[in-house]
């Protein structure tokens, strides 16, 4: 039978051994975390450098395309004019994608500084809906939202970045909507947050896709891929990054596939 003294000695030895193992495991985890941070920084640097190098040739392509289409190098046929127009559209789409990736990267690593001021979200939403008026009418979509001023208190935000959020949301609400569908904008004040919900009829989300939407970067549901095969799933990633940079939240609600979707944005009140 062990004496109390021997028992304490063995217990201390066991504790010492376990402590040593824990410290060793902690050091391994610490080094792995440092390496991951280094790799992530390298990735961010690569993205920023690549984007800057791609912008210059794209700008030159766009300049030449505009010069040709304006007749600077002589008259062109209608067929060539159409081809030039297609090149122009594709180049501008690529420039927009590059700028989007740059925005995401800069926000994630803190390079982009937000110009935080009291902002009237009603004016922002109204401007966004005006910009998409042609697309809304083309798809015969009915839009409804609260127009009274008391339903729209000011929030602390960067006006341009907030406009980006709602441009992305409204664009998706149109793109994935049905012909003759609806878009509904509702507001709610909850403690120190202002909540804007943008609901739309359309493809909706399954339970699994709903759970994955903001977990995975560039995630696209099966329904979204069917509706627009060439999409990248970048928009909502940008919206999420901007909302979180404002210390806000973004979430999604859907009753299922084909039953529409509602995106909910929460932003700090002034």
pLDDT in tens, 186-211: 998 888 899 999 999 878 787 777 77
pLDDT at position 99 is 75
Q: What are 149's two structure tokens?
A: 């001023």
CATH topology of domain 117-268: Heat Shock Protein 90 (3.30.565)
User: For the segment 205-230, what is each residue's pLDDT rounded down to a tens digit?
Assistant: 877 777 777 766 666 666 776 666 55
d(CA 101, CA 94): 11
User: Which architecture characterizes domain 10-108 according to CATH?
Assistant: Orthogonal Bundle (1.10)
| Residue for token pair 């999420």 | 240
Nearest to 166 by CA among 204, 131, 191: 131
pLDDT at position 129 is 92
For the chain, give every domain's residue range: 10-108, 117-268
pLDDT cut 90: percent of the chain above it: 16
User: For the segment 104-118, what is each residue's pLDDT rounded down to a tens digit?
Assistant: 666 665 556 678 889
pLDDT band at residue 180 under the 50/70/90 scheme: very high
Averaged pLDDT score across all residues of the chain? 80
The answer to whether the 10-108 and 117-268 domains have the same CATH topology is no
d(CA 128, CA 137): 14
| Residue for token pair 């990735």 | 43
d(CA 189, CA 67): 51
Whether 166 shows a pLDDT value over 90: the answer reads yes
C-beta separation of 236 from 243 below 8 A: no
Q: What is the DSSP string of 97-166?
A: HHHHHHHHHHHHTT-SPP--EEE-HHHHHHHHHHHTHHHHHHTT-EEEE--SGGG---EEE-HHHHHHHH
Higher pLDDT, 270 or 37: 270
Whether 47 shows a pLDDT value over 80: the answer reads no
pLDDT at position 169 is 92
User: For the segment 12-21, what is each residue's pLDDT rounded down to a tens digit?
Assistant: 778 777 887 7
pLDDT at position 52 is 63
d(CA 172, CA 138): 15
Q: What are 154's two structure tokens?
A: 């000011």
pLDDT at position 217 is 62
User: For the segment 116-144, what is each residue's pLDDT rounded down to a tens digit?
Assistant: 889 899 999 999 999 899 889 999 999 99
Instruction: Over range 226-254, report the average pLDDT.
Output: 79
pLDDT at position 43 is 61
3-state SS assignment for residue 194: strand
pLDDT at position 136 is 92
């Amino acid at each position: 039978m062990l004496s109390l003294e021997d028992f304490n000695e063995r217990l201390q030895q066991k504790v010492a051994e376990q402590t040593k193992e824990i410290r060793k495991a902690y050091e391994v985890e610490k080094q792995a975390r440092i390496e991951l941070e280094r790799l992530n920084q390298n990735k961010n640097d690569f993205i920023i450098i690549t984007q800057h190098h791609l912008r210059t040739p794209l700008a030159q392509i766009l300049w030449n395309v505009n010069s040709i289409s304006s007749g600077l190098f002589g008259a062109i046929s209608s067929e060539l004019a159409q081809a030039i127009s297609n090149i122009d559209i594709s180049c501008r789409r690529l420039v927009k994608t590059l700028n989007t990736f740059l925005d995401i990267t800069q926000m994630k690593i803190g390079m982009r500084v937000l110009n935080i001021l009291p902002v009237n979200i009603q004016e922002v939403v109204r401007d966004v809906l005006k910009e998409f008026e042609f697309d809304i009418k083309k798809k015969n979509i009915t839009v409804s939202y609260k127009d009274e001023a008391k339903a729209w208190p000011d929030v602390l935000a960067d006006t341009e970045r907030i406009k980006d959020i709602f441009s992305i949301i409204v664009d998706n609400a149109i793109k994935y909507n049905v012909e003759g569908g609806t878009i509904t904008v509702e507001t709610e004040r909850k403690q120190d947050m202002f909540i804007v919900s943008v609901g739309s009829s359309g493809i909706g989300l399954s339970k699994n896709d709903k759970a994955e939407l903001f977990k995975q970067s560039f995630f696209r549901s099966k329904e979204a891929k069917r509706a627009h095969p060439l999409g990248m799933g970048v928009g909502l990633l940008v919206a999420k990054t901007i909302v979180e940079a404002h210390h806000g939240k973004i979430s999604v609600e859907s009753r299922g596939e084909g039953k529409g979707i509602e995106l909910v944005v929460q932003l700090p009140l002034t």
